[in-house]
């Protein structure tokens, strides 16, 4: 893989990634007249929940569902407005988000607490938010990229995770993809994102606490026990030599998969070449099942759960959550009172039934 670093008109970094040992020159200049990125994010501590909340009001003006001929993620080509990608073609590209929730150049001078709330600590919205564009082709999806391009994306995820983890003050790196307008996607071009947080997220904190409690009370390894049981259980949907995808026994979402490597690793950079090859295969498999389960592809979130940067790494087991809020053709699961108000999920589907449905999708799609 070859990486080429350039700068956009407002100073943001853009990285081109090309498979193989050679790459075309990546020297196109960004001709736009852009003002410097202004980021006013801040973190506020919720003393009741014990969680950080990011305030990023400047994102209200971000691009929202532009027509295809004005897509900012397409390459810049003659006859159309310049985009975020100056080159006329590319394989995979990563750039700093123009409307970031977190940024390294954020204003650092913030009060110690929110106005009139001395228990609500304030911190600068430090971090980094990147966009990962999987292909220059606007009408593709990750499920249709093919094994070679998917493998390149896996390498890019790993490279970015390693580099962002090395930034002082970053505590967790989160790789994810939102797909489908129903999920809230504002740009339809196939892409994902990476957030470098200055704190450990609530989900990871909760899982680490569960791991410690299981060790203390049962004397076992929670991740290992869960993976072993699920690999031998009735909810496996797809598997290969290095990975298993299964519907979790207590799935929250109508359609949900977890994808685990068979070897404990803390994050994507720790995967071997063979494990990365196998990941590309199983990931395309399960995305294809989501795409063909109904008459239209399911909207989904693909969420990589990686270990924190500075703690809990020896306990963590890298895994992917892939889930959709579609529960039936033309019907979505909305987070209503129980889920949104109390965080208590009520599922409209049964994990064992969903696993059987997804296992059958491949046969009917061949």
At 21, list the tokens. Answer: 């040992």
247 vs 260: CA distance, rounded Å: 11
Q: Could you tell me if 323 and 347 are in contact, meaning their C-beta atoms sit under 8 angstroms apart?
A: no
Question: According to the model, what pLDDT value does residue 59 have?
Answer: 66
Q: Residue 129, annotated ligand binder? A: no
Question: According to the model, what pLDDT value does residue 213 have?
Answer: 97
Question: According to the model, what pLDDT value does residue 364 have?
Answer: 44
For the chain of 366 residues, list the mean pLDDT of each consecutive stretch of 10.
96 96 93 86 95 83 72 93 96 95 88 94 95 96 96 98 97 96 88 98 98 96 98 97 98 97 98 98 97 95 98 97 94 90 92 97 58
How do the domains of the chain map onto residue ranges? Answer: 2-201, 203-265+277-365
- For residue 197, what are the β-bridge partners? 172
* Identical fold, 2-201 and 203-265+277-365: yes
- Of 142, 153, 96, which Cα lies nearest the Cα of 268? 153
Task: Name the helix (H) or strand (E) containing 87.
Answer: none
In the chain, DSSP assigns E strands to 2-7, 13-18, 42-46, 51-55, 92-96, 113-114, 117-124, 128-133, 172-179, 191-197, 236-239, 243-246, 255-261, 300-305, 319-324, 326-328, 331-332
**Is residue 262 annotated as part of the catalytic site, yes or no?**
no
Please spell the DSSP secondary structure of 188-207, one letter per residue.
-SSEEEEEEESS--HHHHHH
142 vs 133: CA distance, rounded Å: 10
Q: Could you tell me if 215 and 64 are in contact, meaning their C-beta atoms sit under 8 angstroms apart?
A: no
SS3 content of the chain, % helix, strand, coil (to 5): 30, 25, 45
Residue that has been written with the tokens 């008459």 in this structure: 295
264 vs 312: CA distance, rounded Å: 13
CATH 3.30.428.10 fits 2-201, yes or no: yes
Question: According to the model, what pLDDT value does residue 342 have?
Answer: 92
| Active-site residue (options: 58, 191, 242, 262) | 191
Domain covering 203-265+277-365, topology: HIT family, subunit A (3.30.428)
Q: Residue 189, annotated ligand binder? A: yes
Q: Residue 262, annotated ligand binder? A: no
Q: Residue 74, annotated ligand binder? A: yes
Question: According to the model, what pLDDT value does residue 64 have?
Answer: 61
Q: Could you tell me if 154 and 281 are in contact, meaning their C-beta atoms sit under 8 angstroms apart?
A: no
- Of 47, 54, 200, 57, which Cα lies nearest the Cα of 120? 47
Question: According to the model, what pLDDT value does residue 60 have?
Answer: 60
């Amino acid at each position: 893989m070859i990486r080429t670093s350039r700068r956009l008109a407002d100073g943001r970094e853009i990285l081109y990634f090309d498979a193989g040992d050679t790459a075309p020159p990546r020297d196109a200049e960004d001709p736009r007249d852009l003002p410097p990125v202004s980021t006013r994010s801040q973190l506020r501590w919720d003393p009741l929940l014990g969680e950080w909340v990011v305030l990023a009001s400047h994102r209200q003006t971000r691009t929202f569902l532009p027509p295809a001929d004005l897509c900012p993620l397409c390459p810049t080509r003659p006859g159309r407005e310049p985009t975020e990608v100056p080159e006329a073609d590319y394989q995979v590209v990563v750039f700093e988000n123009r409307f970031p929730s977190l940024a390294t150049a954020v204003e650092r001078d913030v009060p110690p607490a929110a106005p009139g709330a001395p228990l609500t600590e304030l911190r600068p919205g430090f971090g980094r938010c990147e966009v990962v564009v999987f292909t220059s082709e606007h009408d593709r999806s990750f499920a249709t990229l093919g094994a070679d391009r998917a493998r390149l994306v896996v390498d890019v995820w790993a490279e970015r995770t390693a580099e962002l983890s090395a930034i002082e003050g970053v505590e967790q790196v989160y790789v994810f993809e939102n797909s489908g307008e129903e999920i809230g996607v504002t740009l339809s071009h196939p892409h994902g994102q990476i957030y470098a947080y200055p704190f450990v997220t609530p989900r990871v904190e909760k899982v680490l606490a569960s791991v410690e409690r299981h060790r203390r009370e049962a004397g076992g390894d929670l991740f290992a026990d869960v993976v072993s049981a699920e690999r031998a259980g009735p909810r496996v949907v797809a598997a290969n030599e290095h990975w298993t995808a299964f519907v979790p026994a207590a799935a929250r979402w109508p359609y949900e998969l977890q994808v685990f490597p068979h070897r404990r690793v803390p994050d994507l950079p720790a995967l071997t070449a063979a494990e990365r090859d196998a990941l590309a295969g199983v990931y395309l498999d399960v995305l294809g099942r989501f795409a063909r389960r109904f008459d239209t592809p399911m909207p989904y979130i693909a969420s990589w759960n990686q270990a924190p940067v500075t703690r809990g790494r020896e306990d963590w087991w890298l895994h992917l959550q892939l889930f959709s809020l579609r529960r039936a053709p033309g019907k979505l699961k909305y987070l209503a009172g129980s889920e949104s108000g109390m965080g208590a999920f009520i599922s409209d589907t049964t994990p064992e039934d969903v696993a059987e449905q997804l296992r059958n999708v491949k046969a009917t799609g061949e």
